[in-house]
Structure 1
Amino acid sequence: MLRTGNYLHSPAPNGGNSPDYNESGVISAANGVLFDGTSAYAGWMGSATSQSTVNVVIDLLKDYPLSEIRVVLNSPNQYWGFKDITVKYRPESATGYYIAARHVRTGSALNYSVAVPMSDKMARFIVLNIRRTQAYQHIPLTEVELVRGTGISNLIPGPALTAEQLQAELKKEALLADRFGQWMNEDWPGKVTTEAQLRQEYAAEAAALANVSLDPALYDPYGGIKSLGKQAATGYFRLQTINGKWWFITPDGYPFIVKGIDSTSLWEPGYKTPILKPDGTLKKIFEELPDRTVYAPSYTRDANGEYVSFVVANVMKKYGSDYESKWEEITKKRLIQWGFNTFSKWTKPRNFTFPYIQSLQDPSNLRRILWSYDMFDPQSGPIIENALKAQLQNTRYSKWLIGYTYDNEAGWNAEIVKEVLTYSSTSPAKSAFVDFVAQRYNGSLASANQALGTNAASFDALKNTRIDIAKVPTAIVSDYIRLASRTYHSMIRDIMKKYDPNHLFLGTSIVPTWRTSLEWDQAAMPFVDAFSVDVYSRDASWISRYEAFGKPLLNLEHSFGSSERGLSYINVGTRTTSVRERGLAYQAFAESQAAHPLFVGSGWYSYYDQPVTGRPDGESYNTGLVNQQDQPYKEMVDIMKTTHATLEKVHQSGLASP
């Protein structure tokens, strides 16, 4: 066992034992807790502002052949733990790091260790990147055990690194992706190794899907279920209750449940990955990037940098000339075979017809309040109308359009009100609050001051007074949120109906437990045709929050993922351990939602996985029906196909599979 060299924590531990506790400089392996063979540990306490990843860099002072690296992470209680750990190494002669392993924590045991085989690879430097599951989780690091392997150590090493130099080690990159955008540090059956393999897979799948189409004996052109009986046909999608259950009705008059897929476009921005570092130089995480001339469409650039989409490059390699139309043909047949019937959110393919929901985004020049904006601003309506007018007019007569959502995951709660109350009279939202309070107290300034804990000389002065939300009665905060919601949703509805009276307003894709409130959601109900949410969970009980309102409900973003092939899951509630379990989790969740009489559909996020090297915001989740090499997760989509075939019966009966 090697107990030599120095190490450095980043950030410094703010928990655990000395001498590592609060130490931001170099620690000797002879003195520190990580190599002492005891239960002493370094700890990083979670908080609202804690870093998502903690790092440790070890300098062994010279190259050693290593047989194994064992990392011990023993938790004092259930509030400690970690999501995953990446172990990297480099010999002194290398300029970048290699990934030895990326391990995702399993189970709930407090005492935990990770063994990483090294097979006598040479290493002088070792880096540990340990990620939290969520911000408040505490991270322990008890011991790092380095088992020396067989081989000759470097006899003429360079000097020991300083703290500044060790910090610089943490900025050095490791190779992550091969020339197809796949995780380099793991092999699996079917991993793409040649372009010929991609072309062979296309030929085989095209033959298998040759006869796939909607059966006109069972479905109308939009996917409506003929066996459920024909209703009134209006030429557009609409909503109707049948025997106490809500349904969409297709333009031809047949019942329909949204079985949707999100972000289906080949050109979806979330499938690209940045290729430049902040200084403008090329990242050294790619084995090989696509040829810039041959695969020029896979490259894009904006004010923040340059990107490559391995999805686009791989599709070009796989389908050859006229790649987009061939890809669209295969994609449509896949979705039909798997039982999907709607493009439910975000982007969609450019050239084939399929029922879809249009996501309308709020303009960037609105007056912002935290994550939302000021709907009391007299300019908000004209700005939004100007931004949406052409979009609404262009789709007004589309029979394939189900309806619109507007904005995304941006309701109001007490945090927004707290912010508004700090503003002056230049804020329309603050003025609206004071006007609302004045009306509530019939113009009595004394009553308003007493209720708000203020001492303003006039209502105009009150508009320029910072108000402490802790002193404001809860009922006033709640009713003000309802007023804001009514103002917002009525404005959006009126703009939509002015330019497109034919299609449905399907809400604003709210996350029930984040950046909204029940008051906001409740006040929206009279103005929407259906209420949409984004819920990443296995638990369909979110529906109970809205049962009393009686509106049709949609869940337009959800998925399940596993930590394989360099990707991860979105949250603990959506974590699975295999491709098959992803499918089974979908089946259980889809059926439990569909069994409710208010539920009219959902959208799986997303068609492709995110890139292993991270999309522009850093996310790298296993969310796809298909990987970035255009290979379907067959075991999962087969289960989805079975699920979709009976989902209408589940909705009719109110009973999910046992």
Structure 2
Amino acid sequence: MFTAAAKIDVRAMVVESGGERVSAAPLVVRNQTGKIVLALPKSAAGYRWHEDDYLIIDCEAQQNSKANVKYEFKIGDKLFTLGYYLVPKRRVKMAIQLVELASRRWFLQTRPGAMKGHVSGSPTHIDKVDEVRITLEKGREPQSFTLYDAYLSRELPDFTVKGEPMVDQFGQWKDMDWAGKVKDEAAMVGFLRAEYDRALRDHDYPGDEFSRYGGWTKKRFEARGFFYKLHDGRRWWLVDPDGCAFFSNGVCYGSRMGVHGFVDGMEDLFDFLPPKDDPVFKDAWTTADQIPEFVKRNGAEAGKGRYMFNFARANMIRAFGDKWWDAWVTINAARLKRWGFNTISVCVNNYFDERAEDYLKKAGVPFTWTLKCFPKTREMVFRDFPDVFSPEYAMLCQDFAQQIVAFKDNPYFIGYFINNEPEWLVQWTTNPAEQLLRKGPECVSKGVLVEFMKGAYAGNIAALNAAWATAFGSFDELAAPYAGVDELNAAARADLRKFRARMIEEYVRVPTSALKAVCPNALNLGMRYASVTENDFAGDTLFDMFSSNGYRRSVVPLLELVARCTTMPLVVGEWHYGGSDYGLLDNALVNATTQTERGKACANYLQMAMAAPNCVGVHYFEFNDQPLLGRFDGECMQHGLIDVCNQPHTACVEAMKAVNAKMYQYANGDIAAVETPWEFAQRF
């Protein structure tokens, strides 16, 4: 346990902005007018902070949305942040180990009461920190922030969250009301059974211009029996197996049977949780070690015994009993086609019992597959960037490519995303080439970097020293660990940017070669970057198309950036808008004020993307709303096309459906895309 010397006196904290102090111990700040900022002197604990310490706070945020709480570390004029979204209106603990300042990952492990957590900043150390602050971003209807305790410890606290229930029997938020909220089980069951009956008779694409794959029968090219890309002189197209022009209008996780959410350590907050061995609701339970994405980020041991419940499945079980899975596929595959979506995107088995491949066979909708477990070498360069020039990386990529063997003869298989939001690129201020310089000769890529610099300066170490303002005796000295080169001067940074591009080319080339050898006809859809700048297109021509997520008010700037920087067509791997009038703790990454305005925003995005000559697809994220208290990584956003009770967000869906019905007229230039104003809302 922590010692008295490690306790931090909350009375010594200064409220720099955002509200008024009304109590000293506990520290209470009310009437939040903006981001609350509490200054926390490092000397307050009375001893030297250590990277093995957890900085722990015991707090409560009174507001009607998730609480965005962060530790901000000032290092000169730079800022490093570690933080979580916390469950509001309940007393919770947030604990983050100071070793996270090394920035070795992007996602923090989810804890009870502490939902999605992030690491943001270039690598540093607690000894370099000048000032520490605790901050709370302004949320929806903010009231107050209470800090009961703050301390440093080498041990984690008890994270159990106590209090009155927040989640009703259907998985909805008890404290908020909205149009369409389910309040009666019989009414919900009746609706779902009616949706099932409708799906049996109404399950086709809109109109008679759509092929069986969702392509456009009025524009035809060579039929090859598989999807391929083609430029017709005016724009890029995909072509479906029957030779019809195809625009990939997709829904991410369209095959997902609801979303599991954490209940571990928060059991008090639920009205309804059946016994874990309940024979009726057994399919709604899982543990975090059964979710590959959780295991990838945290390890299997961290997920054992951490229970999760899927209210969307439970609601289907209430309506269909043990036939719930078939009913879900029937209802939602029909909806996707009826609404004009022709691609199920991502399609990974993020739950071991998800049965994504069975869903795809039954649904008969074209799909993309996102590969899992991107190769990690023994020596990693930065976060998830591997030792790309090593023989080990090449060997791992050969094994990695075997994931798609099962799909190579499936005509509905459009192609694959090699990766999903690589964490090294999220921290765009950190250059992997500079991090490579910090490595020793055990990292094979380090030797390639030294040879690159030797070639750049024609073997003249004096020339490199003159450019970098260094004093190396020979290029061999670069083989030893060397830090801070990107801080030397502009010439050093420019050299490292050049080698960064070389590293990314190899990062792309090796798995791309292995995948094409295994499945030559499937389209390589790229790395599915979280976002891109003009500096992030190295290796682009090795893909069949370039992919980036596009969470923006308008898709146009992304379309224009990609058109400037590459000749490859673009597929937008993820995009969405949320509505701010619906009962979840988070709206979305980009938001409208209401579901109606959300529909306008979505219709705009779709039109502009469909009309762009360099765009061949947009994949909406995602089909389901997320759980009220967070999925495996704590995300709890209102961005789905359906809610936890399997009800469509009608105003939004109908607006998208109207555009989708004219998708190919927009793509062919028969109808001009026009952006319509819509009411933007801040994220809370």
Q: TM-score normalised to the size of structure 1?
A: 0.75
Alignment partner for residue 373 of structure 1, among 386, 395, 408? 386
Distance verdict in 2 for CA 1:14–1:423, change over 3 Å: farther
Shift of 1:385: 1.2
Q: Choose the corresponding residue for 1:296, options 282, 289, 292.
A: 282
Task: Give the aligned partner of residue 625 of structure 1.
Answer: 641
Aligned to 1:275: 263
Question: Does the CA contact (< 8 Å) of 1:34 and 1:41 recur in 2?
Answer: no
Query: Structure 1 residues 181 and 458 mapped into 2: Cα distance closer, same or farther (>3 Å)?
Result: same
Question: C-alpha distance in 1, partners of 2:19/2:594?
Answer: 41
| Cα 1:134–1:290 shift into 2, 3 Å | same
Which is worse superposed, 547-556 or 455-464?
455-464
Q: 2:536 & 2:10 partners in 1: Cα distance?
A: 44
Counterpart in 2 of 1:313? 314
- Alignment match, 1:155: none
Following TM superposition, by how much is the alpha carbon of 1:10 offset from its aligned partner in structure 2, in angstroms?
10
Q: Show the counterpart of 2:672.
A: 655
CA drift of 1:519 comes to 3.4
Matched positions, count: 551
- Tell me, yes or no, if structure 1 residue 597 matches structure 2 residue 602: no
Paired residue type of 2:25: G
**1:506 corresponds to which residue?**
525
The 1:408–1:256 alpha-carbon spacing in structure 2 relative to 1, beyond 3 Å, is same
Write the letter of the residue equivalent to 2:587.
Y
Residue 643 (structure 1) aligns with = 659
Measure how far apart 1:54 and its partner are: 9.9
Name the residue aligned to 2:170.
Answer: 180
2:624 equivalent among 605, 608, 611: 608
The one of 497, 501, 522 equivalent to 1:478 is: 497
Contact 1:530 1:551 survives alignment (8 Å)? yes
Secondary structure in 2 aligned to 1:239? strand
| Structure 2 counterparts to residues 286-435 of structure 1, below 5 A | 286-292=270-276, 293=278, 294-301=280-287, 302=289, 303=301, 304=303, 305-347=306-348, 348=356, 349-352=359-362, 353-363=364-374, 365-366=376-377, 367-368=379-380, 369-389=382-402, 391-410=403-422, 412=425, 414-435=430-451
CA gap of 1:252–1:173, structure 2 versus 1, over 3 A, is: same
Partner of 1:634: 650
Which of 542, 548, 553 matches 1:527? Answer: 542
* Alignment match of 1:565 (pick from 583, 590, 596): 583
Q: How does 1:22-421 map to 2 (within 5 A)?
A: 25-26=25-26, 43-44=37-38, 55=59, 88=89, 172-209=162-199, 210-214=201-205, 217-227=208-218, 229-267=219-257, 271-277=259-265, 283-292=267-276, 293=278, 294-301=280-287, 302=289, 303=301, 304=303, 305-347=306-348, 348=356, 349-352=359-362, 353-363=364-374, 365-366=376-377, 367-368=379-380, 369-389=382-402, 391-410=403-422, 412=425, 414-421=430-437
SS in structure 2 at match of 1:321: helix
Q: Could you tell me which runs of 5 or more consecutive residues in structure 1 were left unpaired when the two chains were aligned.
A: 1-7, 59-82, 90-95, 98-128, 147-160
Q: Per the alignment, do residues 10 and 577 of structure 1 end up closer, same or farther by CA in structure 2, a change over 3 Å counting?
A: farther
Task: Give the 3-state SS of the residue equivalent to 1:332 in structure 2.
Answer: helix
- Per-residue CA distance 1:134-161 (angstroms, 9 max, x = gap): 99987689x9999xxxxxxxxxxxxxx9
One-letter code aligned to 2:336: L
CA drift at 1:552? 0.5
CA shift for structure 1 position 419? 1.7
Give 3-state SS (helix, strand or coil) of 2:622's partner. coil
Q: Bigger CA drift: 325-334 or 408-417?
A: 408-417
Q: For 2:250, what is the secondary structure of its paired residue?
A: strand
- Note the alpha carbon deviations across 1:61-92, whole angstroms, 9 max, x for none: xxxxxxxxxxxxxxxxxxxxxx9998748xxx
Matches of 1:10 and 1:381, distance apart in 2: 56
Percentage identity across paired residues of the two chains = 23
Q: Shift of the alpha carbon at 1:603?
A: 0.6
Deviation of residue 350 (structure 1)? 4.9
* Alignment-mate amino acid for residue 566 of structure 1: L
CA RMSD, 1 decimal: 4.1
User: 1:162: how far off?
Assistant: 8.7
Q: What displacement does 1:357 show?
A: 0.7
Q: Which amino acid aligns with 1:224?
A: G
Give a deviation string over 1:262-317, Cα, whole Å, max 9, x none: 0123446xx1111212xxxx621111113531110111122321111112211222
Distance 1:218 1:650, change over 3 A: closer
Which shifted more, 313-322 or 443-452? 443-452
Q: Aligned residue for 1:151?
A: none
Instruction: Note if contact 1:33-1:41 (Cα within 8 Å) is conserved in structure 2.
Output: no
Query: Matched residues in 1 for 2:601 and 2:118: separation?
Result: 20
Number of the residue aligned with 2:106: none
Match of residue 67 from structure 1: none
Shift of 1:168: 9.9
Asked whether the equivalents of residues 367 and 413 of structure 2 are also in contact (C-alpha less than 8 Å), the reply is: yes
Deviation of residue 33 (structure 1)?
Answer: 7.8
Distance apart, 1:484 and its partner CA:
1.0
Q: Distance in 1 between matches of 2:328 and 2:230?
A: 36
- 2:19–2:30 contact (8 Å) kept in structure 1: no
Question: 2:477 matched to which residue of 1?
Answer: 461
AA in 2 matched with 1:316: I
CA distance in 1, matches of 2:34, 2:416: 57
Shift of 1:335: 0.6
C-alpha distance in 2 between matches for 1:378 and 1:205: 54
Task: Determine which structure has more spread, i.e. the larger CA radius of gyration.
Answer: 1
Query: Structure 2: which 5+ residue stretches go unaligned?
Result: 1-8, 41-54, 63-83, 93-113, 121-132, 152-156, 290-300, 349-355, 676-684
CA contact (8 A) 2:540 2:546 kept: yes
CA distance in 2, matches of 1:588, 1:186: 29
Partner-residue secondary structure (3-state), 1:518: coil
Q: Does the aligned pair in 1 maintain the 2:196–2:327 contact within 8 Å?
A: no
Q: For 1:448 and 1:19, locate their aligned partners in 2 and report how far apart those are by CA, in whole Å.
A: 55
Shift of residue 324, structure 1, vs aligned partner: 1.0
Deviation at 1:218, TM superposition (A): 2.1
2:572 matched residue in structure 1: 555
CA contact (8 A) 1:408 1:509 kept: yes
1:189 CA drift (Å):
3.8
